[in-house]
């Protein structure tokens, strides 16, 4: 007879934004199932996620998605060792749907409940896959760039030698928009579909990345010099920080559109895409709807954003002595980002890993994987677990 603690089957549930997801993962490394019900087409009509609609859809989807994850994994609820759920950050109403259902399951099945930070989940999407593929373990400390529609964060991650639990230190974050948000807003401004990342990813290679020289002003903070104290300055924790800002480039694109009188062609493209929803980012019709000026603008935007992410990440890795790099989150699906990060990491001899495309965007396998070390350490949530929309990962 099987001893359940030997198999480590964890059901993960994720509902922080616009995907209702459930997955069964064994011992933090093998996904037996990974089901995602995307609400993307629903929110596409509004050009962004509408919180009330998201909560309603999660309510509609959570039970069938969990059932499907269990069916595909060929396991019964009794076989599970724990239920893991995203506690935050995310939309309060959306998070609550997953949390409430996970709590009900945990209570009814008398299995432990584990709360997971969504950002930690994105990092574990990569760690899970490197473990599963038996590729060399990522050497610690690792530097993780989590870059998505809601987040642009840099973390130094370490594992406790005794408990094996992970700890994180935030060493960079966006001071305004997330990188994915900039992709979505620029795509919307240029009359492209939602979410904008895949559109710009597919169209940028058709333009000249050096046509429009976008620049970033660096927001790099240094810790105060030893012995120098300034009581009026905001309290700083240790070490240098490598922050991001993406609202400036969004405004620069808007200014470019205005000064180059692109409005008319943008509205024509928007109307054409609305009239024919079968046009996808990769279809030739999408390229045909863009003139050279638009393609050059998209290519230049992407070149600048990826360049900025790359510069800050490498500067942080070097300054903080990271032994490997992990890039995760929706924007990590970007092909130019993967190519340039890989090339630069290779040049410096730094191991780098990205999640498979399926695990780049929101999913529940990453939540179940991140829960595994907590399960081993018996780090369980209590029954009063609630949603924490602004939940942070690690100290800054
Ligand atoms: O991780 P995710 O699914 O949800 C959040 O936690 O935000 O990320 C979604 C974001 C969106 O902003 C989307 O435009 C962006 O990831 N994205 C991409 C690509 N695929 C998705 N950005 C650039 N290139 C892509 N291929
Ligand atoms: Zn995410």
Mutate to test the pocket of ligand 1, among 361, 364, 365, 391 (most ligand atoms within 8 A of CB): 361
- Kindly report the CATH number assigned to the domain that includes residue 276: 3.30.420.40
How many folded domains does the chain comprise? 2
Considering the domain architecture, whether residues 216 and 249 belong to the same structural domain is answered as yes
Largest CA distance in the chain: 72
Residue 171 pLDDT more than 90?
A: yes
340 in any annotated domain: yes
Considering the domain architecture, whether residues 117 and 80 belong to the same structural domain is answered as yes
pLDDT at site 207 = 98
6 band by pLDDT with thresholds 50, 70 and 90: low
237 band by pLDDT with thresholds 50, 70 and 90: low
217 band by pLDDT with thresholds 50, 70 and 90: confident
Atom of ligand 1 nearest to the CA of 16: 6
Number of neighbours of residue 128 by Cβ within 10 angstroms: 25
* Chain segment 42-52, per-residue pLDDT in tens: 777 777 788 88
* Chain segment 323-355, per-residue pLDDT in tens: 999 999 999 999 999 999 999 999 999 999 999
SS3 label, residue 234 = coil
Measured by CA distance, the residue closest to atom 3 of ligand 1 is: 361
CA of 150 to the centre of ligand 2 (A): 7
Closest ligand to the CA of 117: 2
Mutate to test the pocket of ligand 1, among 40, 146, 195, 328 (most ligand atoms within 8 A of CB): 195
Atom of ligand 1 nearest to the CA of 150: 7
Residue 41 pLDDT more than 60?
A: yes
pLDDT at site 340 = 98
Task: Give the ranges where 74-117 is alpha helix by DSSP (H).
Answer: 92-109
Residue 245 pLDDT more than 70?
A: yes
* Chain segment 263-285, per-residue pLDDT in tens: 999 999 999 999 999 999 999 99
Considering the domain architecture, whether residues 238 and 282 belong to the same structural domain is answered as yes
* Chain segment 103-113, per-residue pLDDT in tens: 999 999 999 99
Residues 6+ apart with CB under 8 A from 172: 152, 153, 154, 241, 242, 243, 244, 312, 316
pLDDT at site 229 = 46
Considering the domain architecture, whether residues 315 and 391 belong to the same structural domain is answered as no
315 band by pLDDT with thresholds 50, 70 and 90: very high
Considering the domain architecture, whether residues 343 and 365 belong to the same structural domain is answered as no
254 in any annotated domain: yes
Considering the domain architecture, whether residues 280 and 370 belong to the same structural domain is answered as no
Q: Domain end: 314, 330, 350, which one?
A: 350
Hey, which residues does 10 pair with through a beta bridge? Answer: 25, 82
pLDDT above 70 as % of the chain? 92
* Chain segment 42-90, per-residue pLDDT in tens: 777 777 788 888 899 999 999 999 999 999 999 999 999 999 999 999 9
CA of 261 to the centre of ligand 1 (A): 29
Residues 6+ apart with CB under 8 A from 307: 340
Which residues lie with the beta carbon below 6 Å from any ligand 1 atom? 17, 148-150, 180, 183-184, 195-198, 201, 329-331, 333-334, 361-362
Mutate to test the pocket of ligand 1, among 119, 180, 280 (most ligand atoms within 8 A of CB): 180
Atom of ligand 1 nearest to the CA of 180: 12
DSSP code at position 47: T
Atom of ligand 1 nearest to the CA of 183: 14
pLDDT at site 231 = 41
DSSP code at position 154: E
301 in any annotated domain: yes
Considering the domain architecture, whether residues 390 and 343 belong to the same structural domain is answered as no
pLDDT at site 234 = 36
Considering the domain architecture, whether residues 331 and 374 belong to the same structural domain is answered as no
150 in any annotated domain: no
161 in any annotated domain: no
pLDDT at site 218 = 66
Mutate to test the pocket of ligand 1, among 183, 199, 282, 328 (most ligand atoms within 8 A of CB): 183
Task: Give the ranges where the chain is alpha helix by DSSP (H).
Answer: 4-7, 40-44, 51-73, 92-109, 118-132, 179-189, 196-203, 247-259, 263-275, 284-288, 292-320, 335-348, 357-360, 365-376
Considering the domain architecture, whether residues 345 and 238 belong to the same structural domain is answered as yes
Considering the domain architecture, whether residues 340 and 384 belong to the same structural domain is answered as no
172 in any annotated domain: no
Structural domain including 221 reads 179-350
Closest ligand to the CA of 332: 1
Which residue, 115, 166, 183, is CA-closest to 331?
Answer: 183
pLDDT at site 230 = 44
Considering the domain architecture, whether residues 342 and 366 belong to the same structural domain is answered as no
Task: Please give the Cα distance from 287 to 100 (Å, whole number).
Answer: 44
CA of 361 to the centre of ligand 2 (A): 6
Considering the domain architecture, whether residues 186 and 70 belong to the same structural domain is answered as no
Q: What is the mean pLDDT of residues 311-325?
A: 97
48 in any annotated domain: yes
Lowest mean pLDDT among 38-42, 205-209, 319-323: 38-42
Phi, then psi, of 68 in degrees rounded to 5: -65, -40
Distinct helix (H) and strand (E) counts, the chain: 14, 12
Task: Please give the Cα distance from 327 to 126 (Å, whole number).
Answer: 8
Most confident of 162-171, 213-222, 235-244: 162-171
């Amino acid at each position: 007879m099987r001893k359940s603690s030997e198999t480590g089957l964890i059901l993960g549930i994720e509902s922080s934004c616009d995907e209702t997801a459930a997955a069964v993962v064994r011992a933090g490394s093998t996904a037996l199932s990974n089901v995602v019900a995307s609400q993307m087409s629903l929110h596409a009509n509004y050009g962004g996620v509408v919180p009330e609609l998201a909560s309603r859809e999660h309510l509609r989807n959570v039970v069938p998605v969990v059932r499907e994850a269990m069916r595909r994994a060929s396991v019964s609820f009794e076989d599970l060792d724990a239920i893991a759920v995203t506690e935050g950050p995310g939309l309060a109403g959306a998070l609550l749907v997953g949390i409430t259902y996970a709590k009900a399951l945990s209570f009814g099945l008398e299995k432990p409940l584990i709360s997971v930070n969504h950002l930690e989940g994105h990092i574990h999407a990569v760690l899970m896959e490197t473990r599963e593929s038996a590729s060399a373990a990522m050497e610690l400390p690792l530097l993780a760039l989590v870059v998505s529609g809601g987040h642009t964060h840099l973390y130094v991650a370490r594992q406790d030698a005794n408990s094996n639990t992970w700890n994180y230190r935030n060493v960079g974050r966006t001071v305004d928009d997330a990188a994915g948000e900039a992709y979505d807003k620029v795509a919307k401004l240029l009359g492209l579909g939602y979410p904008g990342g895949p559109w710009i990813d597919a169209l940028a290679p058709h333009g000249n990345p050096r046509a429009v020289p976008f620049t970033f002003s660096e927001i790099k903070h240094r810790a105060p010099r030893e012995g120098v104290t300034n009581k009026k300055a905001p309290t700083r924790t240790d070490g240098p920080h490598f922050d991001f800002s993406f609202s400036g480039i969004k405004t620069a694109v808007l200014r470019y559109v205005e000064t180059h009188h692109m409005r008319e062609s943008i509205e024509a493209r928007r109307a054409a895409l609305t009239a024919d929803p079968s046009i996808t980012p990769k279809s030739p019709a999408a390229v045909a709807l863009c003139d050279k000026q638009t393609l050059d603008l998209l290519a230049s935007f992407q070149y600048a954003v990826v360049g900025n992410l790359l510069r800050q990440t490498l500067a942080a890795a070097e300054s903080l002595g990271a032994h490997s790099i992990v890039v995760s989150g929706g924007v990590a699906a970007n092909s130019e980002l993967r190519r340039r990060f890989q090339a630069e990491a290779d040049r410096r001899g730094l191991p780098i890993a990205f999640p498979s495309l399926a695990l780049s965007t929101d999913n529940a396998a990453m939540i179940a994987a991140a829960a595994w070390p907590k399960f081993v350490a018996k780090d369980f949530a209590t029954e009063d677990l609630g949603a924490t929309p602004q939940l942070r990962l690690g100290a800054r």
